[in-house]
Structure 1
Amino acid sequence: MLLISKGLRNITTLCLVRHGETDWNRQRRLQGQEDIPLNELGRKQAHESGKHLKHEYWDGIVSSPLSRAYETAEIIQKHLDQTLTIQTLDEFKERAFGEASGLTFQELHEKYPDRNYSGQEEWEEFKTRVFSGLEKIQNDFKGKKILLVAHGAVINCMLSVLSNGEVGSGKTKLINACISNLEHIDDMWNIKSYNETSHLSQFQSH
């Protein structure tokens, strides 16, 4: 985890929300840029995220254009006291996994034990795309507090790069509708928290 210096001004805050569950998530299928909608649990998770986030003031909402992310953003938006327009950015679409998309994790393990999926978006290309989106957010919303609804691989890419591989891609299993927080200070993004799930009823003790 990277430490945040206190007392610095003009901080851009970015709250990352992974989209709610889809049927492919439930079936443990690799989900790339296919436009799979939220299922009933996914919508419930989005509502729970919105109820959790409504207590804070936000300057904007950004979303991947894929429906599972955009619908999550729409549901969260309905819970906020402010009237905010959702801005979509293609840079935050899920990674394209080529011929591996739609396969179950068991099928992936059997067919691609090295995880070298045929036709997938290369890591460097994917990373460049995602961080280009982050740069757009910093340029457009400098010093603001923004919600970003995106995908597991997208958020894990950010976490991996910013933590120098300590967390994120290959190490962190992000839960549907989990929350992670970044701050932009001194010309760099820093991780404040990641994979928070306490707002989701499925992780609350009764």
Structure 2
Amino acid sequence: MQTAQIIAPALGLPLHLDDEIQELRPGEAEGLPIETFWERFGQPNYETMPFRPIAPAGESWAQFMLRVRTALDRIVREHEGKTIVLVCHGGVIDGSFLYFFHMDEWELPPTRSSTRNTAITHWKKSSEGNTGEHWQLVKHNDGFHLQDIGTSTRIPWEQLLAQPKSDGDRPSVRVPTKQHAKEQ
């Protein structure tokens, strides 16, 4: 929420808080140091026990992913055709991979994204060629905006291009998903 309060005025956007895009709800583990959490409730194993809450009154991995997917679906429908900026934690970003790539939320994805703090993830809705509408991952773990933190040299942000050159003019190949396979 603190980061969103900094970003919103910089972008000239109103701040809308949405409780559904918060990180996994820890229940009774809230605020505990990790060692104390593991002593009291055990170390979560999302792969073998995706439906086990991490602590009493907390969420399981599957509940968390279903909540994130439901929230993302609502948000993209409510703001269809608009640019949306969400400020969230890594678990929500990991959930966005499941949502936008039509992956199963009931199990851990076959890949790990290792989302970095304060990094930018950029999704874009595309309708290229005959593949129909789909979501394209444009950026993940982009930390360029942090490069001058802690240095005496500042990046001349105002001199940089508003839209940096990209390889958008180069063709890309859609990575097949379970949903894509069903459509074929």
Please state if 1:140 is matched with 2:81: no
Please state if 1:192 is matched with 2:135: no
Q: Name the SS of the counterpart of 1:131 in structure 2.
A: helix
Of 184-193 and 126-135, the range deviating more from structure 2: 184-193
Specify which of 119, 124, 127 is matched with residue 183 of structure 1: 124
- TM-score, structure 1 normalization: 0.52
Q: Name the SS of the counterpart of 1:146 in structure 2.
A: coil
Q: Deviations over 1:96-135 (max 9, x none)?
A: 1123332333444555234462222122222221112211
With over 3 angstroms needed to count, the CA separation of the structure-2 counterparts of 1:88 and 1:94, relative to structure 1, is same
Q: Name the SS of the counterpart of 2:140 in structure 1.
A: strand
Provide the residue aligned with 2:33 in structure 1: 104
Specify which of 141, 165, 174 is matched with residue 115 of structure 2: 174
Provide the residue aligned with 2:23 in structure 1: 94
- TM-score, structure 2 normalization: 0.57
Give the strand-richer structure, 1 or 2: 1
Is the contact made by 2:72 and 2:99 (CA closer than 8 Å) also made in structure 1? no
Q: Name the SS of the counterpart of 2:115 in structure 1.
A: coil
With over 3 angstroms needed to count, the CA separation of the structure-2 counterparts of 1:100 and 1:73, relative to structure 1, is same
Q: Deviations over 1:33-78 (max 9, x none)?
A: xxxxxxxxxxxxxxxxxxxxxxxxxxxxxxxxxxxx2x32221122
Is the contact made by 1:179 and 1:194 (CA closer than 8 Å) also made in structure 2? yes
Q: Tell me the distance in 1 between the aligned counterparts of 2:79 and 2:9.
A: 21
Compare relative contact order (CA 8 Å, sep 6+) and give the higher one, 1 or 2. 1
State which structure, 1 or 2, has the greater radius of gyration over its C-alpha atoms: 2
5+ residue gaps, structure 1: 1-68
Provide the residue aligned with 1:113 in structure 2: 43
Please state if 1:77 is matched with 2:8: yes
- Percent same amino acid at aligned positions? 29
Q: For this pair of structures, how many residues does the alignment match?
A: 132
5+ residue gaps, structure 2: 46-51, 104-108, 127-131, 154-184
